[in-house]
Chain A
Amino acid sequence: AQSVTQLGSHVSVSEGALVLLRCNYSSSVPPYLFWYVQYPNQGLQLLLKYTTGATLVKGINGFEAEFKKSETSFHLTKPSAHMSDAAEYFCAVNTGNQFYFGTGTSLTVIP
């Protein structure tokens, strides 16, 4: 069975500070891992994904994530938070045809 755990439903950071959003997964098969961002009343926008190859993946808006198989983690980071980063972030695992989403982390950026 597949599952995704996002630690911390709310994260607050100061503008310019490091952003770290945590995601751990469980999967019986090698997973494809995704991070999506959702702005209020909008759909999901793909930030980045890990499929195969390099375990450090870079996405849009300066975000990156590292796949650590030994830790079954795929944490999302950004060196310097911007006000426009305030949104809901979802980690997801895909195995086969189905996505499994975490419960989401709401990021607040404090000016």
Chain B
Amino acid sequence: GAVVSQHPSRVICKSGTSVKIECRSLDFQATTMFWYRQFPKQSLMLMATSNEGSKATYEQGVEKDKFLINHASLTLSTLTVTSAHPEDSSFYICSARPPGTPYNEQFFGPGTRLTVL
């Protein structure tokens, strides 16, 4: 089946630093990947749609200069949290949809827990 991985699974950083999170589709090529953010005890909120070879599409209220998304290949999308602050601490989850998948099913990565001190 379709497998999506994320790296790292956990990261702790100091305030003001930048953190890169990788999302990989392991056994399929994904022209589109999605980045979600989940605060404790809350649902997933779509942050942006990552498109291979073009700019990401950000949801309203998401700062594109703070959350940099790069989709350089058909199997890799990266999310960089720039100048991280404690309020950026969250669980970040990516997903991808294999091409030709019916019903728009997405496969989710295991998530990355970001803690900003």
Task: Give residues in A with beta carbon < 8 Å to B.
Answer: 32, 34, 36, 41-46, 49, 51, 90, 94, 96-99, 101-104, 106
Contact = CB atoms under 8 A, between A and B. Distances in A.
A51 B105 CA distance: 10
A42 B110 contact: yes
Kindly name the residue among B44, B46, B103 whose own CB sees the greatest number of chain A CB atoms within 10 A: B44
Interface string B31-50: 01010000001111110010
B104 A101 contact: no
A42 B4 CA distance: 13
Contact of B44 (A45, A90, A97): A90
A106 B41 CA distance: 9
Interface of B: 6, 32, 34, 41-46, 49, 91, 93, 95, 97, 102-111, 113
User: 8 smallest A-B Cβ distances: which pairs?
Assistant: A43-B110, A51-B103, A44-B108, A101-B43, A43-B108, A43-B111, A103-B43, A32-B103
Nearest to B46: A98
A74 B30 CA distance: 29
B8 to A, nearest CB: 13
Contact of A94 (B44, B45, B104, B107): B104
A8 to B, nearest CB: 14
A51 B102 contact: yes
A90 to B, nearest CB: 6
